[in-house]
Structure 1
């Protein structure tokens, strides 16, 4: 997670969703060593990603 605030996280997920448009997508957070000793950022990213993807769900 190279960004550490929810607005940036949301923007990055929205950018991915806009690129994928109507495709089935798998969002995968794989580079987790960048959480800066704050593992709660993983749960935060998951929550933000779920919020954004729900808006794009059909």
Structure 2
């Protein structure tokens, strides 16, 4: 389930009536954002994490 990106309490939030929205533009914008995020994820090098192994105790 997708949550709204802004709360109605956010001062930057601007209410728009349904008849003033264009769902095609909204879907196009979301597709562009998702494609940009996918491209950015592919361009980032994968981090290599090296963990030290615990030293074994001497047998004796």
TM-score by length of 1: 0.35
* Bigger Cα Rg: 2
Where relative contact order (Cα < 8 A, 6+ residues apart) is larger, the structure is 1
Q: Normalising to structure 2: TM-score of the pair?
A: 0.34
